[in-house]
Structure 1
């Protein structure tokens, strides 16, 4: 029974990114004034925007909860040493940060200076991305010692460093707001592809455990 519960926690890494992507695409479609290449994803959930409730309460908050459950499954299943435990906890923090980013929405346009709620959103978002990147890198090095993940340890490490580079590109575009949305989406894509791959790997792992125990 407990094994089945752990198995379904891994689905958070699969369902979370799919849900978030669908809602982001839908929100962008509904907003004729929105430019996905230059605008933040968070602008879809900005205070008083037409897509605020959709993006925050169907996108950010539930997706963040799913990512946290996925991080919890990592903590339970793959935490064999300190670095893997910290890495897993950082993925949990990534999910919690995404949820908080939906609770505390940014001002229209997501300016660097705004209301207290918008400032909280900005600070939380920064911690959220950094947590995901550091968590992935730490887990990548830990995966080298785990049979189930050894063959994707290099991919995991590369994902972490590619995500870091994309984060730097995104930050450097803040002043001009030129291609900021593109860099952010590529950053999210790199993280999402990783969570989907790891989620599928762990889900399959539980099926193999069940087959071996039968």
Structure 2
């Protein structure tokens, strides 16, 4: 009973961290887009709001990207601990945690003004590396968690995860190719990942267990 109580507390803290992290990102991006002259959410990356020299850079990085990344990583690590009896679930959560770390470092190392790739600075190169690593890890983590979910007492996570995986793959492809509507592709990916993590966090908070492993006594 003590283990169950401890897991319940940790999963509640984890879910709260996730919600706060997502709110930090949404508020900063919406605010940044509103005060950045001529900014187009559909065509421009979120990173441009935090770019070096932008009017919103300091605020978006300090109050959006960095806290979002840290809080998402905390959620994933606490969830990994709650689901530690399943190696697959733990692995999925650790991959998702890398996404949070990637977001935080993308805020610490902003891209150049307007995310220009002409003669990029070291910070801009690190921004792309951490951002790309974070997104790829999120896709892998979501896929692994989706496969695991079908063997749990919350199989409804599987269709949500499958949808998030497909949208994330399409979104990431659009980001890499820098299509005209790249901002829209990025936001679709972010929303899909957020929806899955919120669903996973809710399930864990409600006592999600792996049907292949015995419940703790």
TM-score interval, smaller chain: 0.7 to 0.9
Q: 2:142 aligns with which of 122, 136, 142?
A: 136
2:79 is aligned with 1:74 = yes
2:3 is aligned with 1:2 = no
The 3-state SS of whatever aligns with 1:10 is helix
The 3-state SS of whatever aligns with 2:41 is coil
**In the alignment, which residue of structure 2 is the partner of 1:202?**
204
In the aligned structure 2, how far is the partner of 1:96 from the partner of 1:166? 20
TM-score, scaled to structure 2 = 0.86
**In the alignment, which residue of structure 2 is the partner of 1:210?**
none
Q: 1:191 aligns with which of 183, 193, 206?
A: 193
8 Å contact from structure 1 (residues 44, 55) kept in 2: yes
| Residue 101 of structure 1, CA deviation | 0.5
8 Å contact from structure 1 (residues 11, 200) kept in 2: no
Runs of 4+ in 1 over 6 A off after TM superposition: none
Residue ranges of structure 2 left out of the alignment (5+ in a row): 209-217
- State the Cα RMSD in Å: 1.7
| Residue 84 of structure 1, CA deviation | 2.0
Moved more, 72-81 or 186-195: 72-81
Residue ranges of structure 1 left out of the alignment (5+ in a row): 207-214
1:6-155 maps to which residues of 2 (within 5 A)?
6-113=11-118, 114-147=120-153, 149-155=154-160
Moved more, 134-143 or 5-14: 5-14
How many residues of Structure 1 are paired with residues of Structure 2 in the alignment?
202
The 3-state SS of whatever aligns with 2:53 is coil
| Residue 56 of structure 1, CA deviation | 0.3
8 Å contact from structure 1 (residues 71, 92) kept in 2: yes
**In the alignment, which residue of structure 1 is the partner of 2:173?**
168
Moved more, 109-118 or 196-205: 196-205
| Residue 95 of structure 1, CA deviation | 0.7
8 Å contact from structure 1 (residues 11, 203) kept in 2: no
The 3-state SS of whatever aligns with 2:116 is coil
TM-score, scaled to structure 1 = 0.87
